[in-house]
Amino acid sequence: MMLRAEHVSIGYKIGDFKDIGLKEWVLRHLKRQYHVERFMAVQDVSFELYEGDMLGIIGANGAGKSTLLKAVIGVMEPRAGRIERYGNVSALLELASGFDGDLTVKENTYLRGAMLGYTRDFMDQTYGQILDFSELWEFEDRPFKQLSTGMQSRLAFSIASLVQPEILILDEVLSVGDGAFQEKSEAKMREIIQNGAATILVSHSLQQVRELCSKVLWLDHGNQIAFGETTEVCDRYEAFLFNENVRRN
């Protein structure tokens, strides 16, 4: 067992505090005119992951996928239920964040490595591998801001995928770069999985989920619709999308 989520529910407080100042909030609170509600982004979700599992999380925008990932990582605490982790967690979420646009590609590579906890010696040893994988040797002395969005994401992925985590979280990161680079990144993920990592992938590409994942969790408006074998859940989800399109048209 690498990861277990048991009846996890996560909510946000929404209300007047978002649009008023502190003084007005205090006055309304004293007069009992303060309005607040709790929006449940995830409700009663349960799943388990073992070594070598790759879980695909599917669902439309607003289904609660990213919120659930934040709880798995530990950034958010569930309002109900619990999440148990049995290994170190590494997350590839917003790939292009944490870079300085005015620094060169090489300087940013070392900067990002330091932010991820890599030592200088480790970066010296792996710098060539990073640029080989990202295919950015000819750009190493250029300012990071001159790279295309795809190039920036390729560099970030190449740096982050150097680690061998026990639990790996991927949020729409295998779609970076062109088709050839996507194949490379998918192959790298397979290598990490084969080495024993338990992986969670959030993707809008159902084909990618079918090809890579051994289990699938389907969320809709925060609710767990299904969790189980990839083909079965993906078939149900595709049928649901087809019926929704027919109903709208």
**CATH, domain 3-7+48-248, list 3.40.50.1100, 3.40.50.300, 2.40.40.20, 3.40.50.11540:** 3.40.50.300
Q: Can you say whether residue 224 is alpha, beta or left, with left for phi > 0 and alpha for psi between -120 and 50 degrees?
A: beta
pLDDT for 117: 78
pLDDT for 71: 94
**For the chain, domain boundaries:** 3-7+48-248
pLDDT for 177: 60
pLDDT for 91: 76
pLDDT for 204: 86
Q: Cα separations (Å) of 170 from 44, 74, 123, 130, 214? A: 22, 15, 23, 19, 15
Q: Which two tokens stand for residue 85?
A: 């982790």
Cβ pair 153, 136 in contact under 8 A? no
The structure's pTM equals 0.76
What b/e sequence results for 5-37 when a residue is b if at least 16 CB atoms lie within 10 Å of its CB, and e otherwise? Answer: beebbbbeeeeebeeeeeeeeeeeeeeeebeee
DSSP letter, residue 144: G
Measured in degrees and rounded to the nearest 5, phi and psi for residue 36 equal -145, 145
CA-CA-CA-CA torsion for 200, 203, 206, 209, nearest 10 degrees? Answer: -20
Q: Average pLDDT for consecutive 10-residue bins of the chain (249 residues)?
A: 96 65 66 70 96 94 92 92 90 72 96 86 95 95 92 85 81 68 81 85 91 95 97 97 86
Measured in degrees and rounded to the nearest 5, phi and psi for residue 199 equal -125, 140
Q: Which string of DSSP letters, residue by residue, matches 49-85?
A: E-TT-EEEEE--TTSSHHHHHHHHHTSS--SEEEEEE
Collect all residues with Cβ–Cβ distance below 8 Å to 213 and sequence separation of at least 6: 54, 55, 56, 201, 230
Q: How many CB atoms lie within 10 A of CB 143?
A: 15
